[in-house]
Amino acid sequence: MELGVLVYRLYRALTYGVSPFIHLHMRWRRLRGLEHFRRWHERFGHPSAVRPPGSLVWFHAVSLGEGMAAVPVIRRCNEMKPEMTILMTTTTLSAFEVIRKQLPAGVLHQFAPLDTPVAVDRFLGYWKPNAIIIMENELWPNLIMSAALLRIPLALLNARMSTKSFKRWSSPLFLPLASLLLSKFSLIAPLSSLQGIHFQLLQAPPFVINFSGDLKYVVNKFHVSSGTSESIRDLKAQLSEMKVWIASSLHKGEEEVILGVHNLLLQSHPDSVVIIVPRHPHHGQQIAQKLRKDGQSVALRSRNEKLTSQKTNIYVVDTLGELREFYRVAPIAVIGGSFLPWLTGHNVSEAAAAGCAVITGCHVGHFSHMVEAMQQANPLSITQVSSKLELKEAIDMLLSNPEILEARQRACKEVYESLSSCIISNIWNLLNLHIFRGR
């Protein structure tokens, strides 16, 4: 523990020393549109809202996936403790744009402070949280140590650590620091037994590790929809006589796999249409631009373009926050982030919740536990492929056999319902026992 304290003191001194350069870097990010133009000062702990009197719990998530996983827990806390103020922080702009529409009325949002001593101390000094709930894998030393010094209970929900992060924290230099930081938590709820083992190997106290299930299963149960938009209903009408499949959460390079498969499928299914949903909207615009340059007809979502011509069989979604609606348009969902060796998968439960037949590549990394759990529950629930040819054959079989497609859709939906039941209740019970008791 003494070595961990020494490493932390070095980290604190380093982050204090580089603070002026971090400030310049954040100004540069703001000019590039990577930080909120007006609220970027929140990243240095400066508040832009008034703290209400009474108890306050702070939920923190970095990006969209973690933030959406936190929303059902926030809703339950809001129901069970209506007198308690909830503060939600995120880091990325994309998370802010989508999550703010999902939060219950009265929940405050700020951008998260950088992990520098001044920003963290300023943030904690103003908001004075009675508890801090961190999503997934955010082990920021200054935040954790400052909270512990102020005796603020800490929880880590849906706790996970990538193989790369685990190796880094397990190294002789960082293991003492990891052990010190994890000792400050009152609750660590890993998203799988493997992740629980990771935290035990990093010397987290065994009594704070409690299992509740993966929160990403329940995002869809608590998602607030503004209703199916008129443009989505129009798209459904345009596709009513077509064979539709969707390829979602695509990273750069994966569109080549998907478009290659689409061109092969057109030979046997000339009435097929693929909906392409890249991970980032600007990537969608790049895909559409390249396809048009190559002489192909493509419809772009942001321009509300229609599939008016029979030659238009590619629909590119370059917007945020609409993926769930598009899963209801297509009966077959191919989940990206899984077709190139350096990728680590994406949440397959969103498509399962919508009743899609789900196909994914073999590079599922962070979501391997989810894929394995679904396959163990019912092998028909999710299909994994390891090549472009296997992907083409899997989609071809579903497009050619309505009975098989219906069976896969039903299996996927049933497994999702089974795996997602009781997770929020489990999480609430753990929070009430370890974090909120007596508060």
Phi, psi of 314, rounded to the nearest 5 degrees: -130, 125
Q: Which CATH number fits domain 1-211: 3.40.50.11720, 3.20.20.105, 3.20.20.70, 2.60.120.330?
A: 3.40.50.11720
Residue 430: closest CA among 221, 226, 170, 186 = 186
Q: Could you identify the residue written with the tokens 């923190």?
A: 60
Give the integer Cα–Cα distance in Å for 389 and 398: 14
Q: Look up 305 and say whether it is catalytic.
A: no
Give the integer Cα–Cα distance in Å for 214 and 69: 9
On whether the CB atoms of residues 90 and 71 are closer than 8 A, the answer is no
CA Rg value for the chain: 23
Give the integer Cα–Cα distance in Å for 271 and 310: 8
Give pLDDT tens digits along the chain (439 positions): 689 999 999 999 999 999 999 999 999 999 988 899 899 999 999 999 999 999 999 999 988 889 989 999 999 999 999 999 999 999 988 888 888 888 999 999 999 999 999 999 999 999 999 999 999 988 999 999 999 999 999 999 999 998 889 999 999 999 999 999 999 999 999 988 889 999 999 999 999 999 998 998 887 766 655 555 788 888 888 898 899 999 999 999 999 999 999 999 999 999 999 999 999 999 999 999 999 999 899 999 999 888 876 678 999 999 988 898 999 999 999 999 999 999 999 999 999 999 999 999 999 988 998 999 999 999 999 999 999 999 999 999 999 999 999 999 999 999 999 988 889 999 999 999 999 975 5
Tell me which fold the domain 230-420 belongs to: Rossmann fold (3.40.50)
DSSP 282-299: HHHHHHHHHHHHTT---E
Specify the domain boundaries for CATH 3.40.50.11720 within the chain: 1-211
Among 35, 66, 254, 350, the one annotated catalytic: 66
Specify the domain boundaries for CATH 3.40.50.2000 within the chain: 230-420
Report the predicted TM-score, pTM, of the whole model to 2 decimal places: 0.78
Residue 207's CB is within 10 A of a number of other CB atoms, namely 9
Instruction: Report which DSSP code applies to 363.
Output: -
